[in-house]
Amino acid sequence: MYHLATVFPPIRRVRLPLSRDQLMLLMAAINLIFLGIDIYLAHSISPTITPNEWIPIIFGPIAGVLLLVAGVIALRNRPLATVIATVVLMASIVVGLLGDYFHIMRAILPNAPTGQQVTVDLLVWAPPLLGPLMFALVGLLGISAAWVESPADSGTLVLLGGRHLRLPYSKTRAYFFMIGMGTLATVISSVLDHARTHFANPWLWIPTAAGVFGTVIAVAVAVFEKPRRADLIIYIVAMVLLMIVGVLGAVLHISTNLIAEGTIVGERFIHGAPFLAPLLFANMGMLGLIVLLDPAEQRR
C-alpha cells in the first residue's frame, strides 16, 4: 500500500488523472517556468542584466515548455518523451550548477585578507548562494520521474532497450531525500536573506523553524526503510506546514513591498522582499505531498 493510502485508506478509491511521476514532471515544468520569471526579477536588481545572467532567464521558460511538450509526446511515444525530458533536465542540472558557481564566485573575495575571503557576512549580502541549485533539484527530481521504476518502489529503473539500473534506494525514498535537501536549500536561502534584517522581526523565525522541521522530517522518513503511519502523519503535517508558511510568507513579502494606501511601486518588488521566494517553501511542501501518491505507473 502506498504511503498516502497508509495514512488515509479511503484515498485508494480515488483515481487521479495523472500518475505520481507525471505530476512530478508537471511540477518540474511549472517550476522551470516560474524560476525563469523569478530570476528575471532577481537579476533586474542591477539595471543591466549581463549575458551570463540571461542564461537561466531564457532557459527556464524554454525548458518548462519543452517538458510540457515531452509530456504530450509521452502519450504516443514514451521512450522519445523520456529522452527529451532527460536532456532538458540534465541541462537544468548544468544550469543550476553553473549558476551556483557564478553566485559563489561573486560572493567570495579571493584576494581579501586571510580570514575575510569567505565570511557569513559576505554570504548574507551576496546573491542567493543556493538559489541556482533549484534548477539542479528540479533536474534531479524530473529525471527521477522521467524513468519508469518497475516493479514500483523497487529501486530498479527500466532504461532504453529493456536494460535495468538498480539504485540503492526506491524512487519514493529518493524523492524523500530530495525533498529534504530542497527544503534545506530553501531554509538556508531564507535565513541568509533574513539575516540582512538582523532577524529583528519575530515573524522571520517562522520559516526558519518550519524549514528546519520539514528538512529533518523529510530526511528521516527517507532513512526509514518502512515508515510507520505515525511517521507519515508527521511528514504530512510538516509538508502542509511548509505550504502554509510559503503562502503566508508571500503575503507578508508583498505587504512589506506595498507603500502607503496599498500602492504598488514596481521597483520595490524588485529591490525589496522577493515576493516569489517564500513560495519555494510551498513548492517543496507540494512536491513532498506528491511523493506520497501511488508510485505505480497508470494502466491505460
Binding footprint of other proteins on the chain (CB under 8 A): 46-48, 50, 105-106, 109-114, 116-117, 119-125, 155, 166-169, 177, 180-181, 184, 187-188, 191-192, 195-196, 198-199, 208, 212, 215-216, 219, 222-223, 259-260, 263, 265-268, 270-272
Nearer to other proteins, 111 or 226 (CB): 111
Q: How far apart are CA 196 and CA 263, in angstroms?
A: 25
Nearer to other proteins, 64 or 99 (CB): 99
Provide the 3-class DSSP secondary structure of residue 166.
Answer: strand
Nearer to other proteins, 66 or 129 (CB): 129
In the complex, what is the shortest distance from the CB of residue 111 to other proteins, in angstroms, rounded to a whole number? 4
What H or E segment, with its residue span, contains residue 285?
helix 279-290
Nearer to other proteins, 32 or 42 (CB): 42
In the complex, what is the shortest distance from the CB of residue 249 to other proteins, in angstroms, rounded to a whole number? 16
Nearer to other proteins, 29 or 133 (CB): 133
In the complex, what is the shortest distance from the CB of residue 10 to other proteins, in angstroms, rounded to a whole number? 34
Among candidates 214, 25, 222, 245, which has minimal Cα distance to 138? 25
In the complex, what is the shortest distance from the CB of residue 250 to other proteins, in angstroms, rounded to a whole number? 18
In the complex, what is the shortest distance from the CB of residue 279 to other proteins, in angstroms, rounded to a whole number? 20
CB 45, CB 270: distance < 8 Å: yes
Rounded to 5 degrees, what angle do the CA atoms 164, 170, 171 make?
A: 90
Backbone angles phi, psi at 184, to 5 degrees: -60, -45
In the complex, what is the shortest distance from the CB of residue 206 to other proteins, in angstroms, rounded to a whole number? 13
Nearer to other proteins, 10 or 267 (CB): 267
Q: Is 161 left (phi over 0), alpha (psi -120 to 50) or beta?
A: left
Q: How far apart are CA 264 and CA 137, in angstroms?
A: 33
Burial class (CB in 10 A: 0-12, 13-18, 19+), 264: exposed
In the complex, what is the shortest distance from the CB of residue 225 to other proteins, in angstroms, rounded to a whole number? 10
Q: What is the grid cell recorded at 25?
A: 514532471
Nearer to other proteins, 33 or 239 (CB): 239
Residue pointed to by grid coordinates 540571461: 54
Q: How far apart are CA 272 and CA 176, in angstroms?
A: 33
